[in-house]
Chain A
Amino acid sequence: MTTKFTTRSFVALVLLALLGVAFWTLAAGYTPDAELNRTAAYYAENTARETGAQNIVTAIIVTYRGLDTLGEVTVLFLTAAIVALVLGQSKAPRGGSGSGFLPSGELLQTGTKMLLPIIMLFGAYVFVNGHLTPGGGFQGGAILASGILLLLLAEPKRRFGHALISRVESVSGLVYVLIGIAGIVLAGGFLDNRILPLGTFGALLSAGAIPLIYTLIGLKVGAEFSSILESLEETEDA
């Protein structure tokens, strides 16, 4: 037993040392760039003119690399669907106790009532202002989902409308793709944000379709996370 243990820890140590060497060579050979590389320089120079977005990161995520973002959202959708499929096998009966939690305390329930609107508002703020300030659809969606999680913790017996969440999810996904196709028809290509006027630089309703797209992404991500949490909540051990 002891010899086996030492061999195992020896292997682990060797692996750790190899990992350390790999990271060390990476860190030792690192020299910070004196200037932006070609792509970064292009983005820094042309983002404001081409997309009207103040936050360059958002412009890259939503417009220049919009297709990648569609892929990310799809991956998240697949995850939510698979979790629902796997956990749906052992679903608690309707009206049953679900996870069988004891009712949560007064403190959590009152706190939830106070905090939930603020959390939801903040999530919406984060994704609506994605083109102006740091943050955006993914962050805002995660904040929305953490609000839902708080609600689930406070009232474990509560059932949410699965239909509502999946409808929000699919409608926002569909509109997202439709906006992308509208970009091909009306502007320069798939998910081009210039289908709407760029507006004044720095205003809330500016940067073309970016606020709209990021709102849709925020709703979609929030709905996907919420449906994962809900599937977890509603399962019951067989």
Chain B
Amino acid sequence: MTLLAPLAAAGFGLAMIGAALMALRARSTAVAVLAAGLVSLFASVLFLILAAPDVAMTEAAIGSGLTTFLFFYVLGRIRREGYDDD
């Protein structure tokens, strides 16, 4: 049990780095935005493991929820207005 928390923390840390690399490397913007949201989601689980549920909730609500949707929202607008110019 004492070993489980550090192992899980290390696993989620690695997953965060993996998702961040995916966000940098992804060809499509949508996948990159999703991967960036995934980084925040893993971070919030990590905060939960480190016994900081308040911070975890903030990270999940703002970092992974609101920001990701905001990115998609703006992306949609850019696409839409880009098509108008064509």
Contacts and interface: CB of A to CB of B under 8 A. Distances in A.
Interface of A: 55, 57-58, 99-102, 126, 134-136, 138-139, 142-143, 145-146, 149-150, 152-153, 225, 229, 232, 237
The 8 nearest A-B residue pairs measured at CB: A134-B53, A142-B61, A139-B57, A57-B54, A135-B57, A134-B54, A142-B62, A146-B65
11 contacts: A58-B54, A100-B80, A101-B76, A135-B53, A138-B58, A139-B58, A142-B61, A142-B62, A142-B66, A146-B61, A237-B81
Contacts of A99: 77, 80
Contacts of B80: 99-102
Nearest to A130: B54
A143 B58 CA distance: 9
Nearest to A61: B54
Contacts of A225: 66
A134 B48 CA distance: 11
Contacts of A237: 81
Nearest to A143: B61
Interface stretch (B20-28, B31-39, B67-75): B67-75
B84 interface: yes
A100 B74 CA distance: 12
Contact of B73 (A55, A102, A136, A149): A149
Nearest to A228: B70
A102 B81 CA distance: 11
A139 B61 contact: yes
Nearest to B84: A100
Nearest to A133: B53
Given A142-B61, A149-B70, 4 more contacts: A57-B54, A101-B77, A149-B69, A232-B73
Contacts of A101: 76-77, 80
Nearest to A102: B80
Contact of B58 (A58, A100, A142): A142
Given A100-B84, A101-B80, A232-B74, A142 B54 contact: no
A153 B25 CA distance: 28
Among A100, A126, A134, residue most surrounded by chain B Cβ atoms (within 10 Å): A134
Contacts of B56: 134
Contact of B66 (A134, A135, A146, A152): A146
A69 to B, nearest CB: 13
A136 B62 CA distance: 13
Given A99-B77, A232-B74, A153 B57 contact: no
Contacts of A136: 54
Nearest to B69: A149
Contacts of A229: 70, 73
